[in-house]
């Protein structure tokens, strides 16, 4: 489903593919629309272009978890914790550590 906001961000990216913030905006809208795979692509593109302070990594981890890529979600969370701590966001780092524990529980439940 393409919403007007998704279309607007897609148009921005078409004009300037290196616009990291437009990619982040598009990814956020895709997450709201539960378009996980597309959001992953945009978040990875965003993270390749801009040093994130943690939130982008958390969003990527959540999207990865939704498509069952728990190991990749763990890796994204680990990178997010490093980024959050580097930028003085201790609360975000704690939230990510809690989220990693949630992913571990989900991963354990899928292997039973």
pLDDT digits (tens, 9 = 90+) for 64-107: 999 999 999 999 999 999 999 999 999 999 999 898 888 777 66
Question: Do 73 and 109 have their domain in common?
Answer: yes
- In total, how many domains does the chain have? 2
Residue where a domain stops, chosen among 50, 70, 90: 50
Question: Do 87 and 32 have their domain in common?
Answer: no
Question: Do 90 and 112 have their domain in common?
Answer: yes
Question: Do 20 and 39 have their domain in common?
Answer: yes
Question: Do 82 and 108 have their domain in common?
Answer: yes
Question: Do 19 and 72 have their domain in common?
Answer: no
Question: Do 97 and 74 have their domain in common?
Answer: yes
Mean pLDDT over 21-38 rounds to 97
- Tell whether the model's pLDDT for residue 44 goes beyond 80: yes
State the residue range of the domain holding 63: 51-112
Question: Do 30 and 56 have their domain in common?
Answer: no
Q: Tell me the per-residue pLDDT of 49-65, one tens digit each, with 9 for 90 and over.
A: 999 889 999 999 999 99
Question: Do 38 and 81 have their domain in common?
Answer: no
**How far from 82 is each of 77, 89, 112, CA to CA, in Å?**
9, 10, 31
DSSP, res 53: -
């Amino acid at each position: 489903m393409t919403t007007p906001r998704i279309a607007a961000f897609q148009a921005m990216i078409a004009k300037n593919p290196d616009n990291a913030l437009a990619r982040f905006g598009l990814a956020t809208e895709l997450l709201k629309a539960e378009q996980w795979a597309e959001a992953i692509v945009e978040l990875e593109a965003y993270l390749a272009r801009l040093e994130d302070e943690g939130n982008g990594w958390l969003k990527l981890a959540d999207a990865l978890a939704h498509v069952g890529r728990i190991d990749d979600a763990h890796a994204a969370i680990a990178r997010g914790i490093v980024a959050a701590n580097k930028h003085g966001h201790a609360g975000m780092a704690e939230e990510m550590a809690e989220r990693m524990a949630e992913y571990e529980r989900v991963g354990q439940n899928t292997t039973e």
